Amino acid sequence: MTDSRKKLFLLNDEQIREYIANGYIKVETSLPGELHEAIARKLDLMVERGPNLGNNVLPHAPEFRHVLNAPEVQGALISLLGEDYIEYPHRFCHASLPEDKVPEDIPSEVGQRYHQDSYTPMARPRQHYPRFARIIYYPRDTPVALGPTHVSPGTQFHQAIAEEDRAAATPMVGAAGSLWITHFDIAHGAGVNQSDVVRHMIKFIYMQRTESTSPAWNCGDERWQNPDNLQAPWDLEVAWSHIWDWMCGNPDRYHSFKSNHGSAADGNVADLVAALTPSETLDRVLVAIRKLAALGPRAAEAVPALAALLNQDHQAARTAATYALGAIGDPAVEILEKRLEEAGQSGWDKDTSTGWTESAVSMMDEAHALSAVGASAVAPLAALLAAPDEWSRINAAFALGEMGSAARDAVPALTRCLDDDSHRVVRSALDALGLIGRRADQFVPRMGRFLVESRPDWEEVLTGSRAWMARDQVRINAATALARLGPNAAATEQELIKSLDDPCGYVGMIATDALQHVGSATAAKAVMDLVLAQRWDSSLTKARLW
């Protein structure tokens, strides 16, 4: 490891373990208090005079760059996402005003505010792998009385928020300049502001560009162990260790789990399956699932019982079952693939059956499990891309993308999906191809055309008052995939330059990132021309316009 990386204050093993299991960590910086107060004063003016500037909050208070570029913050982001992470265009200041009437039951009120964030501007799948990270930053002291953001540890894998999650709300309190990084999908909600001042919480979103090939943090031991500071309520070691191996870049994403349990794996499969019933306590169910996962392919006869737990309550049981099926491996592929196919055939309605809204989408647990199986699931999933049912094709594309480069053999089938009649399938295929990142010559020219073309049926407004269309998200996904491809996207340079003027600002902002990594002189000039034209003088006010 170079000295420059050491200076970035990379995270250690324990911090990474806490992030994987609990879903969030706190990052301390050494920035001066006057910097945070300068940011807070500008946010005060924004709240006082309006409007909330949304994504433009960063140029409104350019001092933010000192926070986001602090070595402790950059070191944490590199540790979690890799050195070439992407700063996503969405950011927002949540200004919590003092409550006119403080609720009598504050914990209950906080619980009712709980949610999982949507993917702005339109739907993307929720991902178990921590590809997206959210920074939560307070420029001023934020004790419980000011209503800090609360999180429920371990909920980042959940398809829905349960009452027990709401009851487990944990306040993220801190002094001025406090900064937290969370898994994007963790359940969270605003606290109750019982003070007489405005509480500012600003969120920034970051995204992994390329898949991990080795630990990006200060790693001392590449084998998983549960963190000492474990706050998640249930032991999901089979899922956590899998994600740890994914972050380590280990081709075998069950290496740690097998190292911890494989040599000692025992138990009668029939007896363990018998424990997978609602009459058993959740602790006993999770122990049985963990023992079945440790048996690997020897637990083949448990596949139907484990599959029956998918997409069901309890959330911990379905998550553990998902990754236990991945650990069993090849014997699970056929039933998982069949369940994905049947889900599409069962009359899927995009508005009811699956939770597809234009905010976020929960893919089927079968798709996550097939991704966890790995290479032997690639061919069946690629075949499923030709299924007559949209929902089956969407889940197959998602699962292949989650495998990353291991799914390179599916690139031809995914490329054919770029001509699918469904914009949801096209969006899923674009994401998957960007994540796989191999054989780019087969799809990059076609992908570039999405930046400048559209289809009549993609012009329908899908998001109500925000007026986003399918066309917008297709172009965002295309730009994101090209940004992930770096120099391999060079053939689309002209389309990327043209997209800098796209009416959807997200497209242009992500295209600037893609052009930076294309790396040509003309790409760099186009980016600088845009940046110079969009400079914002944050010192101007209504009384002083020049």
Task: Sketch out the chain's domains with CATH numbers.
Answer: 3-207 (2.60.120.620)
CA distance 42 to 173: 22
Closest CA to 181 of 153, 203, 157: 203
Closest CA to 396 of 413, 384, 379: 384
3-state helix, strand, coil in the chain (%, to 5): 55, 10, 35
Show the tokens assigned to 28: 């301390």
CA distance 163 to 314: 11
Closest CA to 327 of 352, 306, 358, 354: 306
**Roughly what angle, to the nearest 10 degrees, separates helices 13-22 and 71-81?**
70
Bridge-based pairing of strands 86-96 and 24-27 is unpaired
Closest CA to 129 of 54, 17, 239: 239
Task: Please give the order of strands across the beta sheet that includes 199-207.
Answer: 24-27, 179-183, 132-137, 199-207, 86-96
3-state secondary structure of 348: coil
CA distance 139 to 465: 31
- List per-block mean pLDDT (blocks of 10 residues) for the chain, which spans 546 residues: 60 98 96 97 93 94 96 97 96 94 92 92 93 98 97 95 94 96 97 95 97 96 96 97 98 95 82 94 96 96 97 93 98 97 72 63 95 97 96 96 97 97 96 96 94 90 84 96 96 97 95 96 95 86 81
* Contact yes or no for 218/15 (Cβ under 8 A): no
Q: Residue 253 to residues 45, 168, 416, 485, 539: CA-CA distances in angstroms?
A: 49, 30, 29, 23, 51
CA distance 332 to 330: 5
3-state secondary structure of 125: strand
* Contact yes or no for 20/182 (Cβ under 8 A): no
H or E segment at 155? Answer: none
Residue 402 CA, chain-centre distance (Å), reads: 12
> H helices within 385-520, ranges in order?
390-403, 411-416, 423-436, 444-449, 470-485, 493-498, 505-518
CA distance 136 to 144: 15
Residue 84 CA, chain-centre distance (Å), reads: 16
Closest CA to 326 of 285, 374, 360: 374
CA distance 371 to 388: 21
* Contact yes or no for 160/116 (Cβ under 8 A): no
H/E/C letters for each residue in 191-248?
Answer: CCCCCCCCEEEEEEEEECCCCCCCCCCECCCCCCCCCCCCCCCCCCHHHHHHHHHHHH
Q: Residue 352 to residues 125, 159, 342, 356, 361: CA-CA distances in angstroms?
A: 16, 14, 17, 8, 12
Question: One-letter amino acid identity for 177?
Answer: G
Q: Give the chain's end-to-end CA distance (angstroms, integer).
A: 48
405 CB-contact burial (10 Å; exposed 0-12 / middle 13-18 / buried 19+): middle
Per-residue pLDDT, 347: 59
Question: One-letter amino acid identity for 428?
Answer: S
CA distance 321 to 273: 12
CB atoms near residue 255 (< 10 Å): 19
Task: Please give the order of strands across the beta sheet that includes 188-190.
Answer: 170-171, 149-151, 188-190
H or E segment at 379? Answer: helix 378-384
CA distance 17 to 226: 7
* Contact yes or no for 463/470 (Cβ under 8 A): no
Which pTM does this prediction carry? 0.95
